[in-house]
Amino acid sequence: MNENLFASFAAPSMMGLPIVVLIVMFPSVLFPTPSRLINNRLISIQQWLIQLTSKQMLAIHNQKGQTWALMLMSLILFISSTNLLGLLPHSFTPTTQLSMNLGMAIPLWAGTVITGFRYKTKASLAHFLPQGTPLPLIPMLVVIETISLLIQPMALAVRLTANITAGHLLIHLIGGATLALINISATTAFITFIILILLTILEFAVALIQAYVFTLLVSLYLHDNT
Amino acid sequence: MTNPEMDAQVHFTDIKKHFNSYTLTSRMNWVLATYEGIALMILYFKLRSTKAPTVKAT
């Protein structure tokens, strides 16, 4: 039972070859390139969704920040599609791997910080000390603000990993409990099944929300530095 | 949060002109001073530990 619980998080391989790269690349197949002025229904719906999200997300940015539009939209599309595909039974979810999420979070966060230090050095350094801080608190607050800046990529990655992993584990556990209870008590099994249905609906929402939160936070870090 | 107009409104004299928690430049100066202070402390303790005489076994 213990081995089965975490088996779905192991890196998948087929005939000894790792196929995790194929799994990571797969969601891009679901977003075909628009090739006409008026496209088919799938592409039109995707374009509408992308426009809606990008308008809302890029509204706070100035011209410099809006150069990150492609990056931010690719990020939210990738994470949301990966999370949603991971809810299919027996599928592997790349965003449950901390290594992958760190690989997304650290370069993006570092990019925003380096952009800020390069173009607005004074403002970026002054950001470590909130305005109006009393004199005795200044050194401590500078240290605290530095630590909170350095923790940002870790928090980004761990938040996504923990949320998706926890959801998958819960579904696995409650699904197992439902199966085990069928022979013991049909009523309890039915109630557990209802809980499983509700949890799955919640996980659909969490998959989209976590993608949005990740992208929004990167967008906010960019806004602070541009 | 940071208001450049604040720079013009607040008038400080002496050292407070360069080290207060209101203007952008002084906040930057405080941050750099804090980092330099931490670096000096680390350097001091490192040098002190290398200079301390080792106890020889008899």
In sequence order, which ranges of B1-58 are alpha helices (DSSP H)?
4-9, 24-51
Burial class (CB in 10 A: 0-12, 13-18, 19+), B40: exposed
Residues of A in contact with B32 (CB under 8 A): 125
Distance CA A105, CA A84 (A): 20
Which of B3, B21, B37 minimises the CB distance to A129?
Answer: B21
Rounded-to-integer distance, Cα A117 and Cα A123, Å: 8
Nearest CB to A122 within list B3, B28, B37: B28
> Cβ contacts (< 8 Å) between A123 and chain B: which residues?
2, 24
Sign of CA dihedral A56, A58, A62, A63: negative
DSSP letter at A77 equals H
Positions of chain B with pLDDT lower than 70, given as ranges: 1-12, 52-58
pLDDT for the residue numbered A6:
82
| 8-state DSSP, A17 | E
The reported pLDDT for the residue numbered B5 is: 46
pTM for the full predicted model: 0.87
ipTM beyond cut 0.90? no
Point out the residue among B22, B25, B38 whose CB comes nearest to the CB of A132. Answer: B22
Q: Please, where are the H alpha helices in chain A?
A: 2-7, 20-25, 41-58, 69-85, 98-119, 121-126, 138-182, 186-225
pLDDT digits (tens, 9 = 90+) for A69-126: 999 999 999 999 999 999 998 899 999 999 999 999 999 999 999 999 999 999 999 9
Residues of chain A under the 50 pLDDT cut: 1
